[in-house]
Structure formats: structure tokens, C-alpha cells
């Protein structure tokens, strides 16, 4: 017979095995739900863009019902708007489920908890604003605010996805990031911080400026590209504001190229950051091409919808790069419901650990 101490050791080993198995299952559920929430958020914004460019915003003239019914009439504009609302409901359910997993298994993880709670709050506010937008018959400023809140929710979910992949990482994984005070004393880290912040603000404002141009009725005012009416500086408010959007896009493009270059410099120490930077640059280049095609193809609803969708993809790519840089590469300590995470952030930049091209 085993001694009492031996039996106690076996019990401890079995408990640790069960905890490890539970942890793996919890991480998988967290990852699946976080990714599903992000995909649903992207689909929600894309559907919103399709509703807008097809003029289907009042396909359901009331809220929360549609034509006073739970199941609306089968008309094109009505189905589009109703699908937009259904996707919002699905997104809310997915974010709630993700939050439940985080609060049950990772409530001590500040990055995971804060990102998903932020996403949930923004999704709720976006739903209220969506209803207000319909009830005010599509006031342009409400549509602008609605889009901004939705893009904020997308950003929070990108962070949640990164966290879901980094919880439970092996302790041997290098924990390098340029975030926080650990590297704030280095000029290189400061330059990365400045570029990321400027690019994030720039892309966010660029998306909103595009929404404003469309809402003001100036979206198709310039029927040529890259010039407008054969001029770099056309006369008339509609043409000036449309070209202003293009010039702002050029400035933001330079910021994105700078971020991509800095990210590529980190590729030896943080390969995911380097390759994500290249994907960011490629997505913005594709967006420029789609923007030109929007003009050349005569502003068809299909190409305008793709243009709006690509803008959100660029936003996701940029936030993805920023999250890879700022979110710690590992969280140590007890990562289950009753633990307090010890967040490890190594000062790889200040120690010269990140090789540059």
C-alpha cells in the first residue's frame, strides 16, 4: 500500500493534471470566441457599409422592430437592414460569451478583462446609436458617431484575440515588447510609440472623414483619379472636401509605411510583428487601388462597399500590429479564476535585443 505522503503526492499530481487540462480547454474556448467575435464585428461593420451605399438605411423605419414586426417583409432594402440588426445581435451574444469565459477563467488578467469589457460596452453603445440613427432618419452626425464606436469595438476585439493567444504561453517564450515604462527611456521605443499612436489616430480619423464625405453627399463629386476635374486644387466646397480626404489619405499612408518599416526592423526578435507590418502595408496599398477603382468604375454600390470594408481591414491590421507590440508576450502565475497574473514585460529594445535591418 502506498504511504500517506505518497498518496498525497499522487492526489496533487492528479489535481495539477486536471487543472492543466482545464486550462487548455479554457484557452481554446477563449480563442475561438474571441476570433468569432472579431469576425462578427467585421461582418457587422461591412454590412453597415453595404446598407449605407445601397440606400437601405431606412429599410426598417422603426426600431427595435422592423415595420412593427419581428419577421419583416421580404424586400431588398428591408432584408439588408434587418440582416445588419441580426448580425449586431449575434455579435452581442458572442462578446457576452467571451466575457463570461474571461471572467470565469481569466478575471485576474487585466489585458483580457479590460479589452473584452471595453468591446462589450462599445457594442452596447453602438446598438443604441444604431436605433437612434434610424429614429432620427439617418442624421449624418449620428451615423459618424455610430461608425466610430463600431470601429472602437473592432479594435478592442483585436486586442482580445491577441491576449487569447498569449495566455498560458510557455515560460520559456521570450517576453519582449516596447510597451510601458520598461522601455520608455529609449529613443527607439519612443519613436515606435509616437508612430503607432499617430497612425492609429490617423487611420481612425481617415475612416470617419470618408464617412463624413459620403454623408455630406460629396462621395462622388470628383469623377477622376488622382486629379479632380483635372486639378490638384479644384474649386468648390464639394471638390475641396473630397480632395482633402485624398490628401489626408496620402499623409496617413506615409505613417503606415513608417510603421511597417519599424515593424520590419523587429522581425528577428518579434517575427509576428515584422510580417504583420508587411500585411498592413499591403492592405493599405490594396485600399488605395480600390479607392481608385471606385472612381474609375463610376461609384457602383458594389465597389463602394468593398472600399468601406477594406478601410476596416486596414484598421484591423494596424491595431493588430500595435497589439502585438504592446500586449505582453506571456502572462505568468495562476491564470485561472483565482489567480493574479504577473505581467512580464522585458525591455528588449533598451537592451538592444531587437535586431534592425
C-alpha 100: how far from chain center: 20
Spatial separation of the C-alpha atoms in residues 89 and 66, rounded to whole Å: 14
Same domain, 85 and 28: yes
Q: How many domains does the chain have?
A: 2
Closest CA to 252 of 188, 321, 200, 293: 200
**167, 199, 224: which is the final residue of a domain?**
167
Are 248 and 290 in a shared domain? Answer: yes
Boundary (domain end) residue, out of 126, 142, 167 = 167
Q: Could you give the CA distance from residue 50 to residue 66 in angstroms, rounded to a whole number? A: 18
Angle, helices 301-326/237-265, rounded to nearest 10 degrees: 40
For residues 205 and 353, membership in a common domain is answered with yes
For residues 54 and 158, membership in a common domain is answered with: yes
Report the alpha-carbon distance of residue 72 to residue 58 in Å, rounded: 13
Binning pLDDT at 50, 70 and 90, where does residue 333 land?
very low
Whether residue 355 sits in one domain with residue 265: yes
* CA–CA dist 50, 150 (Å, integer): 15
pLDDT tens digits, one per residue of 155-173? 999 999 999 988 865 433 3
pLDDT band at 246 (very low <50, low <70, confident <90, very high): very high
Among 167, 188, 213, give the residue marking a domain's end.
Answer: 167
User: Residue 15: is its pLDDT beyond 60?
Assistant: no
Task: Give the closest residue to 202 by CA, choosing from 163, 162, 151, 253.
Answer: 253
The more confident residue out of 111 and 339 is: 111
Cell of residue 248, nine digits: 489626408
**In terms of domains, do 207 and 336 share one?**
yes
Q: What is the pTM of this model?
A: 0.82
Mean pLDDT of the chain: 81
pLDDT given for residue 268 in this prediction: 84
Residues 192 and 111 in one domain: no
Beta-carbon count within 10 A of 88 CB = 21
**CA-to-CA distance for 9 and 326, rounded, in angstroms?**
40
Assess whether 319 and 185 both reside in one domain: yes
HSE-CB at 120 with a 13 A cutoff on CA atoms is 17
Asked, as a colleague might, if the bond just before 64 is cis with ω within 30 of 0, I would say yes
Q: Which three cell numbers stand for residue 15?
A: 489535481
- Tell me what pLDDT residue 26 has: 76
- Supply the pLDDT for residue 123: 96
Sign (positive or negative) of CA dihedral 188, 189, 190, 193: positive
- 293/340 same-domain check: yes
Q: Are residues 129 and 180 in the same domain?
A: no
Range of the domain at 102: 1-167
Q: 80 with 202, same domain?
A: no
Question: Does the pLDDT of residue 352 top 80, yes or no?
Answer: no
Residues 198 and 81 in one domain: no
Amino acid at each position: 500500500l502506498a504511504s500517506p505522503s505518497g498518496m498525497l503526492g499522487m492526489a496533487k499530481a492528479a489535481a495539477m493534471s486536471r487543472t492543466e487540462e482545464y486550462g487548455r480547454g479554457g484557452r481554446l474556448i477563449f480563442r475561438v470566441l474571441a476570433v468569432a467575435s472579431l469576425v462578427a464585428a467585421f461582418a457587422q461593420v461591412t454590412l453597415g457599409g453595404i446598407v449605407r451605399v445601397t440606400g437601405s438605411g431606412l429599410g426598417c423605419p422603426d426600431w427595435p422592430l422592423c415595420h412593427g414586426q419581428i419577421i419583416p417583409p421580404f424586400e431588398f432594402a428591408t432584408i439588408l437592414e434587418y440582416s445588419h440588426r441580426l448580425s449586431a445581435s449575434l455579435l452581442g451574444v458572442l462578446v457576452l460569451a467571451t466575457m463570461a469565459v474571461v471572467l470565469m477563467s481569466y478575471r485576474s488578467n487585466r489585458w483580457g478583462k479590460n479589452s473584452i469589457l471595453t468591446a462589450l460596452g462599445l457594442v452596447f453603445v453602438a446598438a443604441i446609436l444604431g436605433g437612434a440613427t434610424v429614429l432620427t432618419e439617418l442624421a449624418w452626425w449620428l451615423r459618424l458617431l455610430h461608425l466610430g464606436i463600431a470601429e472602437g469595438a473592432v479594435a478592442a476585439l483585436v486586442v482580445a484575440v491577441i491576449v487569447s493567444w498569449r495566455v498560458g504561453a510557455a515560460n520559456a517564450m521570450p517576453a519582449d515588447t516596447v510597451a510601458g515604462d520598461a522601455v520608455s527611456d529609449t529613443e527607439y521605443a519612443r519613436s515606435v510609440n509616437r508612430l503607432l499612436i499617430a497612425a492609429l489616430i490617423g487611420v481612425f480619423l481617415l475612416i470617419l472623414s470618408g464617412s463624413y464625405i459620403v454623408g455630406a453627399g460629396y462621395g462622388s463629386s470628383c469623377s477622376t483619379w488622382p486629379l479632380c476635374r483635372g486639378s490638384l486644387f479644384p474649386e468648390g466646397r464639394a471638390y475641396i472636401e473630397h480632395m482633402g480626404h485624398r490628401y489626408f489619405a496620402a499623409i496617413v499612408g506615409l505613417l503606415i509605411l513608417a510603421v511597417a518599416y519599424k515593424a520590419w526592423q523587429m522581425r528577428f526578435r518579434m517575427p509576428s510583428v515584422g510580417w504583420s507590418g508587411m500585411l498592413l502595408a499591403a492592405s493599405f496599398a490594396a485600399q488605395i487601388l480600390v479607392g481608385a477603382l471606385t472612381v474609375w468604375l463610376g461609384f457602383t454600390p458594389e465597389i463602394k462597399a468593398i472600399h468601406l470594408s477594406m478601410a476596416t481591414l486596414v484598421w484591423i491590421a494596424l491595431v493588430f500590429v500595435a497589439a502585438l507590440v504592446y500586449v505582453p508576450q506571456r502572462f505568468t502565475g495562476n491564470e485561472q479564476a483565482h489567480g493574479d497574473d504577473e505581467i512580464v514585460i522585458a525591455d528588449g529594445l533598451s537592451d538592444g535585443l531587437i535586431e534592425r535591418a
